[in-house]
Amino acid sequence: MKQNKITLFLVLIMTLSFVSCSESIVSECEPDIKVDNQMKASFKEIQDKVLTPTCATSGCHQANFYSPNLEEGKSYDNLVGVDNLSGNLQLVEPGNSANSYFYKKLLGDGTTLMPSGGDKLNKAILDSIRVWIDNGAENN
Give the chain's mean pLDDT: 78
Specify the pLDDT at position 119.
Answer: 78
**Residue 127 reports pLDDT greater than 50:** yes
Burial of 31 (0-12, 13-18, 19+ CB in 10 A): middle
Q: What is the pLDDT of residues 39-96, one digit of tens each?
A: 789 999 999 999 999 898 878 888 877 789 999 999 999 999 999 988 899 999 999 9
Q: What are the extents of the domains in the chain?
A: 34-134
Query: Facing residues of 80 across strands?
Result: 92
Are 61 and 70 in contact by the 8 Å Cβ rule? The answer is yes
Name residue 33's amino acid: I
